[in-house]
Amino acid sequence: MVDSSSQRYQFFDQHPEIADLRSDVIQGLSAEVPYISPKYFYDEIGSRLFEEICNSEEYYPTRTEVSIIRDNIDDIVEELGKDCLLIEPGSGDSYKVRLLLDALRPIAYLPIDISKLYLQGEAQKLATEFTWLNVHAICADFTGKLELPYHVESTNKVAFFPGSTIGNFAPEQAISVLKEIKMMVGEGGGLLIGVDLQKNSNILNAAYNDKSGFTEQFNKNLLVRINRELQANFNLEQFQHYAFYNEEQFRIEMHLVSLRDQQVTIDDVILHYKKDQSILTEYSHKYSIDGFQILAEQAGFKIKKSWVDNDQLFSVHYLVNN
């Protein structure tokens, strides 16, 4: 294991504000259109279920993005330029960055994640695995202000934002997230980003309704988590996973639908649900290549290059700030 005092591994704690699950959930569930923020999917069980989703036959985004990066790695490296400072907001398990590291040889890799222990574990693993790599982990919330812990003048900064996580933000919010990343990489910096594409709704509906039921469990795990952490009494049998592609809005919508009139308590708060009333849990926006390029331009980026797979399922773009 790499020692945290060694030069190659450094850890910077920006002490992100940890959201208050209780007040967020009660506020969301009491709204006119009840919702739970998708950021609460990712407790330990949810993160494991998400991995299962990514490996499922129906969920094409992960394997397609990986194959786009593998098939175009030389081209990608040429665009990004060797010796960059590679920054990954919301780095999670850092699985995809492994595809880039050997070819790109960045001067340092800066994973940013809100989950301190998970980030430390993953960052130390990478520093052990890639014996030449400087890993400077930053504990911060990437949806807030993004500030690097030190100043690098001479190197180009490149952010890596894979997985179409940008799709989980409504377009106006997505522009704000892109703007924040643009400020962080600064003049001359860039962003390598994965974006899921609009396509036949059968493929999309299947991807969010896998036969093994991982997405259903992932969705319902929100209620399991709320029951456990907030002493609530959601009956999992009385809520149904419902995910569909909204063709007018170009987005997957995930809901939990109440199967009957019912009452749920969270601690001392009582919530009422009518039969068929839904709790919105996630949007996953899908873009056309042009549509995403316009969004990126609205955030002030220029499109340097875009790559897609042969079936046009998914896209990877390199955007620059100059």
Read off the DSSP letter of residue 321. Answer: -
Residue 124 CB, nearest distance to ligand AVI (Å)? 24
Q: What gap in Å lies between CA 164 and CA 308, rounded to an integer?
A: 13
Site string for ligand AVI, 282-321 (x = CB under 6 A): x-x-------------------------------------
Nearest residue (beta carbon) to ligand AVI: 284
92 in contact with ligand AVI (CB under 6 A): no
Angstrom distance (rounded) from CA 113 to CA 119: 6
- Please select the residue that binds ligand AVI; options are 9, 35, 161, 208, rule is CB under 6 A: 208
Using CB under 6 A as the binding rule, whether residue 62 contacts ligand AVI is answered as: no
| Candidate residues 64, 165, 258, 278; the one interacting with ligand AVI per rule CB under 6 A | 165
Helix-strand-coil split of the chain, %, nearest 5 = 40, 25, 35
Strands 269-273 and 262-266: antiparallel
Contact 49, 218 (CB under 8 A): yes
Q: Does 278 bind ligand AVI (CB under 6 A)?
A: no
Residue among 124 and 284 whose Cβ is closer to ligand AVI:
284
Q: Which residues of 267-279 are buried (b: 16+ CB within 10 A; e: fewer)?
A: eeeebebeeeebb
- Altogether, the residues listed in the chain come to a count of 322
**Residues 210-269 interacting with ligand AVI (rule: CB under 6 A):** 215
Residues within window 23-52 making contact with ligand AVI, judged by CB under 6 A: none
Give kind and range of the element (H or E) at residue 176. Answer: helix 171-185
**Least distance in Å: CB of 273 to ligand AVI?**
22
CA distance 24 to 270: 15
C-beta of 127 vs 295, nearer to ligand AVI? 295
* Total residues interacting with ligand AVI, rule: CB under 6 A: 10
Smallest gap from residue 187 Cβ to ligand AVI (A): 29
Q: Which helix (H) or strand (E) holds 255?
A: strand 251-258
- Closer to ligand AVI by Cβ: residue 34 or 167: 167
Instruction: Enumerate binding residues for ligand AVI (CB under 6 A).
Output: 53, 163-165, 167-168, 208, 215, 282, 284
